[in-house]
Structure 1
């Protein structure tokens, strides 16, 4: 699966796809999910659960290779989420197939520092967590680095310790404050709410990689729904509506960071909300 937007080639490596319960969004009910038949199969499973994908986007722009989000990682100790615990998947081999051998990657963007977006920042070598991409600059929201660096949250503090701290200690991190042009038409945009330093990635005005501003296409229909993990729900709602408005106005390709299926589509206005139209 790949796309080309404004001369930037975008591809995707999927780590795994898993079901999430309806109450992942606090305001949702099973009836709300059942009322969206267009989401069946790709985005909702036969039991009425959200299908969520854990994947990275790979960007090739002006001769540079950029990875956006690094999923869960192998060998990480994550007892609170069994699907993330001590994984042994083929992610690195899949990167090589896509032409992204670890030592050829120029930049790693983490849209935010939750455990499912940072795991492959590091890998275990001789009992130590070391940077997976030794030539890359790691672009992380400065406010997230500050917040999670001081946190004792039982879910995300261990991920900071084994997947963020080692790249900080290696001097590979460039903290990002606000919007930042990256290379060619690729730029980072501050989209706070889910976390304080959350970033989304835009390619010109024709494509957006959402990060966790959106977790699932059903949020286009219900942009006010609160996702588990939204640090500031009110700000997250405002940020989500602004992104949806911009994407709809620009007719931009929307690449959902957790969208299953092809992960790609367009947002169209539908009354006072929106609708996601998936691409095959």
Structure 2
């Protein structure tokens, strides 16, 4: 599925690969209590929380067309890859490529692939299998990775083999297509990195706009809408849950009650909205709401 909208002098496309149940709410957010879940169940269902109290996640990329570049943010799951979840493992469907085509795009149109971090569900389409070898999916693109994130992932892979690094990151590095950048990286006058560590050591969010941050992409800073209302609820697999909670609130406060559109990585459709205050927390408001 592809959804397209315009922001300022940019066009943004949502490229959706999969929408599926992920983890039980009480396991996914360890600090979540049954009582707090009870208080919020009514507004979370049915889009974010299913009848069994399992959170649903959407796996998607965003493609941003600025006046200068076409940039793909986070490349989802990919095909032909050995992964730990059955719905991710050895995929062979054309959903992602059809969604890209529905947006009027081909793999050759992408100038940059920018990864918020290097987890398996954000790097999968970096590469595809051709004659038994992993090759860059986007033949004309530079792949932008946080230097700090890459160093941490490379070191972890040296200790314990990481399939996603081996099949979706290392081939990009070996092909000479990786661009390792620091937290002050900018691409022209439309693209900036915002350091948002906690989920991983070098996790970044991405900001787009010529005069201000018209669009901000969260990556895995936030996984589910309940974390907006209660930013202290960190994900079970955050590298540093305490730091993630601090970073999450700082991000939400930075953009709260501003015109900036927030593009989430895993929220169910519509996935995109403006951040508004909700008591001591926040919520994502549909940008089409009047």
Aligned residue among 177, 188, 200 for 1:172: 177
What CA distance in whole angstroms lies between the structure 1 residues aligned with 2:18 and 2:160? 19
The answer on whether the counterparts of 1:55 and 1:71 sit within 8 Å (CA) in structure 2 is: yes
Distance 1:103 1:25 in 2: 39
Which residue is 2:268 aligned to? 260
After TM superposition, the runs of 4+ consecutive aligned structure 1 residues lying more than 6 A away are 153-156
* Rounded Cα–Cα distance in structure 2 between residues aligned with 1:76 and 1:156: 14
Instruction: Measure how far apart 1:24 and its partner are.
Output: 0.8
Pairs within 5 Å for 1:182-193: 182-193=187-198
Partner of 2:69: 64
| Contact 1:15–1:89 (CA under 8 A) maintained in structure 2 | no
Partner of 1:275: 283
CA 1:153 to 1:274, structure 2 compared with 1: closer, same or farther past 3 Å?
farther
Q: Deviations over 1:148-183 (max 9, x none)?
A: 112149998110000000000011111121132224
Native 8 Å contact 2:262 2:274 kept in 1: yes
Report the Cα distance in structure 2 between the residues aligned to 1:153 and 1:278, rounded to whole angstroms. Answer: 43
| Map of 1:181 onto structure 2 | 186
TM-score between both structures, scaled by the size of structure 2 = 0.90
Using the TM superposition, give the Cα deviation of residue 11 of structure 1 relative to its aligned residue in structure 2, in angstroms: 0.9
1:86 is matched with which residue? Answer: 90
Partner residue in 2 for 1:208: 216
Of residues 8, 11, 14 in structure 2, which corresponds to 1:9?
A: 11
2:21 aligned residue: 19
CA distance in 2, matches of 1:53, 1:121: 18
Answer whether contact 1:206 1:250 (CA < 8 A) is retained: no
1:279 to partner: Cα distance = 4.5
Please say if 1:218 is aligned against 2:226. yes
8 Å CA contact 1:6, 1:185 repeated in 2: no
Q: Which runs of 5+ in 2 are unaligned?
A: none
For residues 147 and 98 of structure 2, the distance between their equivalents in structure 1, rounded to whole angstroms, comes to 31
Query: Does residue 158 of structure 1 match 2:163?
Result: yes
What corresponds to 1:48 in structure 2? 53
Ranges in structure 1 where 5+ consecutive residues have no aligned partner = none
